[in-house]
């Protein structure tokens, strides 16, 4: 135990083979700074050159809003089929599941029995979900 009034002194780590003396200089950060500057230049300079050197000829067709393949000259609350969104969501889900399966397939030789059965369970859940969507008619486009 420490007695009352004991002063603590911060000890410096000994320099040597296991604790090398480290000094940080700004020259070590020069490659990072250069990388950031080049990245900004690649992103900003084409925009600036296009704005300054490109032709500026406004046209009503160019200035009209256009989104998702629908003409903007009709009512903003135009009805369209919801199945488009359903197929898009299903695509995203199955695409993400395939992205999870790629590392499993790459490391298949090293994962052992536990990894194998975890992948089989994942695939089983995927198949059950696919069968449910098929049974509910989410994939029918009629």
The answer as to whether 100 is a domain residue is: yes
Mean of pLDDT values over 26-36: 90
Tally of structural domains, the chain: 1
The answer as to whether 41 is a domain residue is: yes
The answer as to whether 21 is a domain residue is: no
The answer as to whether 91 is a domain residue is: yes
Alpha-carbon span 121 to 93, nearest angstrom: 17
The domain that holds 59 is classified in CATH as 1.20.58.1610
Phi and psi based region of residue 80 (left: phi greater than 0; alpha: psi -120 to 50; beta: remaining): beta
The answer as to whether 101 is a domain residue is: yes
Q: Please report, for residues 32, 39, 62, 90, the alpha-carbon distance to residue 42 in angstroms, rounded to integers and kept in the order given.
A: 15, 5, 26, 36
Residue 114 lies in domain? 30-136
pLDDT of residue 4: 60
- 54-99 pLDDT tens trace: 888 888 777 776 666 666 555 666 676 777 777 788 888 888 888 8
pLDDT above 90 for 108: no
The answer as to whether 57 is a domain residue is: yes
The answer as to whether 16 is a domain residue is: no
Which DSSP letter does residue 11 get?
P
pLDDT above 70 for 18: no
The answer as to whether 22 is a domain residue is: no
pLDDT above 60 for 1: no
């Amino acid at each position: 135990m420490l007695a009352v009034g004991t002063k603590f002194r911060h000890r410096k780590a000994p320099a040597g083979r296991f604790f090398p003396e480290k000094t940080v200089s700004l020259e070590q950060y020069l490659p990072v700074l250069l990388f950031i500057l080049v990245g900004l230049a690649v992103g900003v300079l084409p925009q600036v050159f296009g704005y300054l050197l490109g032709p500026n000829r406004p046209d009503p067709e160019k200035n009209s809003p256009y989104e998702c393949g629908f003409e903007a000259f009709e009512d903003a609350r135009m009805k369209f089929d919801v199945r488009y969104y359903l197929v898009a969501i299903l695509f995203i889900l199955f695409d993400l599941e395939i992205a999870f399966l790629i590392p499993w397939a790459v490391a298949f030789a090293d994962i052992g029995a536990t990894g194998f059965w975890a992948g089989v369970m994942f695939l089983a859940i995927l198949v059950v979900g696919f069968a449910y969507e098929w049974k509910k008619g989410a994939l029918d486009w009629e």
